[in-house]
Amino acid sequence: MNRQEVRRLLAAHGLRPRKGLGQNFLVDETALQRIAETAEIAPHETVVEIGPGLGALTEHLLARAEHVIAIELDANMVAILRERFGAQPHFHLVEGDVLEQNIPALVQHLTGQPRYKVTANLPYYITSAAIRHLLESQPTPDLIVLLVQREVAERIVAQPGAMSLLAVSVQVYGTPSLVARVPAGAFYPPPKVESAILKIVPHARPHVRPEEAEQFFRLVRAGFHQKRKQLRNTLSAGLHLPKEETDRLLQAAGIQPSQRAETLSIDDWRRLFDVWRAHQE
């Protein structure tokens, strides 16, 4: 869909883009193609699209996948999507908040099989929550391709030296890569920031098991609480441990107590978690 088509479709339904729902519609065919290509959809596969809006990306997905499950919160968009694609038997429309959906259960119910990929031009205000929701689903998607703010994509793909709580939260579950930048002019209306296509390949075996996640992230959150401070200080404050004990734990995990959280790799966090847990027993 191009800019004129989007404007015409909105006007025909008496609608305007809703800022509060993050409605910046993608009107650049190259970017739409690139998202669909990055998802590497085989004809027997199921794709879940979050926030399909007017259906610009949905068209591309319907041409490639065996099933497309579109989850949209805005009832006005739902009506338009139904009008546009409702006659296609492999199009499944779900009205509601993606964060409240059990996506694996939806996929199983609508397609009779468990595997799926996810694509989305995400409303920016739910980026982190949506990614966490996807990565903590069981089973996780085979692949996730998202359009997000460029700055957020860069933070997610960061390496030790520039890690953040967000980077750790994603990289524990999968390998992220930044596929391409997308300029603000590719959207109607244009957002204030640049965007990027982010691909996440979930690990077959995540570094953290579901039953460990709460404690693991308690540790990581404590480490990043004041990220300019040394781990010796952030961890002893956040975990209520004497400094000498924190030093011993860090050293046992092969980490210098003077290091900052942003310098740790996922393997470092995993080792530290194991040492801390053993110490608690």
Residue 156 is a binding residue for ligand SAM (CB under 6 A): no
Residue 278's CB is within 10 A of a number of other CB atoms, namely 10
Among 48, 62, 77, 153, binds ligand SAM (CB under 6 A): 77
The tokens for 106 are 């939806």
Among 9, 10, 23, 216, binds ligand SAM (CB under 6 A): 23
Q: Known binder of ligand: residue 268?
A: no
Q: Known binder of ligand: residue 26?
A: yes
Whether the Cβ atoms of residue 146 and residue 202 lie closer than 8 Å to each other: no
Instruction: Show contacts with ligand SAM in window 230-249 (CB under 6 A).
Output: none
* Per-residue mark of binding to ligand SAM, 90-129 (x: CB under 6 A): -------xxx---------------------x-x--x---
CA pair distance 105, 7, nearest whole angstrom: 35
CA pair distance 58, 64, nearest whole angstrom: 10
Residue 68 is a binding residue for ligand SAM (CB under 6 A): no
Among 22, 141, 223, 257, binds ligand SAM (CB under 6 A): 22
> Using CB atoms, what's the residue nearest to ligand SAM?
51
What residues are paired with 120 via a beta bridge? 50, 146
Among 39, 73, 135, 220, binds ligand SAM (CB under 6 A): 73
Residue 195 is a binding residue for ligand SAM (CB under 6 A): no
Q: Known binder of ligand: residue 61?
A: no
Residue 85 is a binding residue for ligand SAM (CB under 6 A): no
The tokens for 131 are 């990614």
Nearer to ligand SAM by C-beta: 58 or 246?
Answer: 58
CB of 158 to ligand SAM, least distance (A): 24
Q: Known binder of ligand: residue 97?
A: yes
Residue stretches of the annotated binding site: 24, 26, 51, 72, 97, 121
Residues that bind ligand SAM (CB under 6 A): 21-26, 50-53, 56-57, 71-74, 77, 97-99, 121, 123, 126
